[in-house]
Amino acid sequence: MLKNIDEEVYNALLCEQKKQRDTIGLIPSENIVSRDVLKLMGSVFTNKYAEGYPGKRYYGGCRFVDEIENLAIKRACMLLGAEHANVQPHSGSQANMAAYFSVLKPGDKILAMDILAGGHLTHGLKVNFSGIFYQAVFYNVERETEEIDYDRVREIALKEKPKMIVCGASSYSRIIDFNKFYNISQEVGAYLLADIAHIAGLVVANLHPSPVHLADFVTSTTHKTLRGPRGGLVLCKKEYSNKLDNSIIPGIQGGPLMHIIAAKALAFKEAMRPDFFDYQKQIIKNCKKLCEEFKNRNYRIVSGGTDNHLFVIDLRNKRINGNEYEKLLEEVGIITNKNLIPYDPQPPSITSGLRIGTPLVTSRGMKENDMALIAEWMDDTLKNRENKKVLKDIAKKVRRFAHEFPIYPSA
Ligand code: DSN
């Protein structure tokens, strides 16, 4: 029994289980995997070394992991309509690294969305490998609309002549027009990489346009809206398949995490079921409703709303910053994350915004009327930030409410 072997680890595990059960999770990049996906992540596949690819391993005894990896590859291609998939990246960052390494050389120029506008670390941030190895230039969102201005992206691309254009974001609440990015990349002769980590589930369900037939590389994580195990994925056109596979191993990784690849295979199958489409639809419905509830309470929403699974609140008219509000909400059991708003006067450790997403609460079975309650408690928390008694009362309601939506119902 773990409890007797390692009490510290056991207690941390128990506390995390309890926290997940007792709280409302609104971090848009988090989700709850199925019990079977969870089981596979803790399965004996973790014991197996399998450097290489199915049929071409550097280790014996790979028959069954070969079957698993082939399944995962086949399902990833079917699910997203791709010509080639590599399911080995340990994370979204490594998926992006692998895509860059496939066709770029150190010093090449990439054009990506500024992290200050909603991009990702691996989209060229100076202190990230992507900003160290490559010369990164950025597009932002427009001040007025807080949306991507594709004419402006084109202007920058024409001027900068990047070798690769990266589209996709970590906190952008609007539809991304992959067609426009494709046209720009064609015009300037750049590779196109679409990072769909956040929206992969929506893309699978056809609720967001797919970049798969347009982009040279499509990268993703498997654990956000896709609701699989924590990990990465790269899709590419057939012509890049060898380059991509070589850039993962021997390029940047050794042994693949076969327990995670097994869980990815299962998650891809789960995502082919009709109820996955209903789930994705409900994520968006919940998100729109939660967003509207905030708007009705005089919160300013970046870009005025949402088309997907997340939105960002600008807190400046509420006299609280993102860091303070995140901590305050945690006191009552609502888990969110502070986030920069476009052109934020605050640094990333403080921020003027809060990022909110609905994939996790939707997985727990919450619907639109539940979103109204959540918004009410979040607003009440802010209004009563100095009133410990009211906060305690809200915390009680939140806990009771969260218990109505068990994470693993019959556990
Ligand atoms: N850390 C992820 C997110 O929260 O959006 C991006 O990788």
What pLDDT, on the 0 to 100 scale, is given for residue 21? 97
Ligand 1 lined by 29 (C-beta under 6 Å): yes
Within-domain flag for 291: yes
Work out which ligand 1 atom sits closest to the CA atom of 30.
4
Q: With a cut of 80, say whether residue 380 has pLDDT above it.
A: yes
First to last CA, the chain: 18
Distance 158 CA to ligand 1 centre (A): 30
Q: Tell me how far the alpha carbon of residue 288 lies from the centroid of ligand 1, in angstroms.
A: 21
- Mean pLDDT, residues 56-72: 98
Please report, for the domain that includes residue 331, its CATH number. Answer: 3.90.1150.10
Residues 343 and 385 in one domain: yes
Give pLDDT tens digits for 313-369. Answer: 999 999 999 999 999 999 999 999 999 999 999 999 999 999 999 999 999 999 999
Is 166 within the bounds of a domain?
yes
The answer to whether 126 is a known catalytic residue is: no
Candidate list 57, 230, 264, 289, residue with the active-site label: 230
Q: Which residue has the tokens 């900068």?
A: 160
Portion of the chain with pLDDT greater than 70, in percent: 100
Q: Which residues pair with 193 in a beta bridge?
A: 166, 217
Q: Which of 224, 312, 336 to mutate to test the pocket of ligand 1 (most atoms within 8 A of CB)?
A: 224
Packed helices 7-22 and 388-403: angle between N→C axes, nearest 10 degrees: 90
Ligand 1 contact, 357 CB (< 6 A): no
Assess if residue 40 is contained within a domain. Answer: no
Residue 411 has pLDDT above 70, yes or no: no
The answer to whether residues 223 and 198 belong to one domain is yes
310 vs 26: CA distance, rounded Å:
9
Question: pLDDT tens digits, residue range 223-260?
Answer: 999 999 999 999 999 999 999 999 999 999 999 999 99
Which entry of 69, 146, 147, 195 is annotated as an active-site residue? 195
Tokens representing residue 259 in the block:
């327990």
Domain for residue 411, yes or no?
no
Q: Are 181 and 112 a contacting pair, CB within 8 Å?
A: no
Pocket test for ligand 1, best of 122, 170, 226, 335 (most atoms within 8 A of CB): 170
Task: Please tell me the predicted confidence (pLDDT) of residue 273.
Answer: 98
57 lines ligand 1 (CB under 6 A): no
Per-chain mean pLDDT for the chain:
97
124 Cβ closer than 6 Å to some ligand 1 atom: no
Mean pLDDT of 360-389: 98
Does residue 408 have an active-site annotation? Answer: no
> Residue-wise over 117-136: b if at least 16 C-beta within 10 A, else e?
bbbbbbbbbeebbbbebbeb
Domain count, the chain: 2
| Any atom of ligand 1 within 6 Å of the Cβ of 118 | no
Active-site residue 230, yes or no?
yes
Q: Which residues contact 67 (CB under 8 A, 6 or more apart)?
A: 54
* β-strand partners of 53: 56
Side chain identity, residue 54: P
Q: Please tell me the distance between residue 248's alpha carbon and the centre of ligand 1 in angstroms.
A: 21
CB of 219 sitting under 6 A from ligand 1:
no
334 and 395 belong to one structural domain? yes
Ligand 1: does its nearest atom lie under 6 Å from the Cβ of 120?
Answer: yes
Tens of pLDDT, residue by residue over 118-170, are 999 999 999 999 999 999 999 999 999 999 999 999 999 999 999 999 999 99
292 is catalytic: no
Q: End of a domain among 235, 270, 305?
A: 270
- CATH code assigned at 167: 3.40.640.10
Per cent of the chain over pLDDT 90 is 99
Query: 400 pLDDT band (50/70/90 cuts)?
Result: very high
Tell me, what's the pLDDT at 410?
Answer: 64
Where residue 409 falls among pLDDT bands split at 50, 70, 90?
confident
Confidence of residue 104 (pLDDT cuts 50, 70, 90): very high
220 and 98 fall within a common domain: yes
96 lines ligand 1 (CB under 6 A): no
Closest-CA residue, ligand 1 atom 1, reads: 29
Domain around 27: 19-33+282-403
Pair (24, 166) in one structural domain: no
The Cβ of residue 321 has, within 10 Å, a number of other Cβ atoms equal to 19
The pLDDT value given to residue 190: 98
Would you call 51 a catalytic residue per the annotation? yes
Cα of 64 from ligand 1 centre, angstroms = 32
> 87 pLDDT exceeds 70?
yes
Same-domain check for residues 323 and 222: no
Nearest CA to ligand 1 atom 5: 170
Q: 226 in helix, strand or coil? A: coil
Say if 352 falls within a structural domain: yes
**Are both 340 and 368 inside the same structural domain?**
yes
The reply to whether 236 and 133 lie within a common domain is yes
Structure confidence by residue, pLDDT tens digits, 189-203: 999 999 999 999 999
Domain membership of residue 11 (yes or no) is no
| 214 and 154 within one domain | yes
Which pLDDT band holds residue 222 (cuts at 50, 70, 90)? very high
From the CA of 337, give the closest atom in ligand 1.
Answer: 4
270-306 per-position pLDDT tens digit: 999 999 999 999 999 999 999 999 999 999 999 999 9
For residues 215-219, give the mean pLDDT: 98
Q: In this structure, which residue's CA is closest to atom 2 in ligand 1?
A: 29
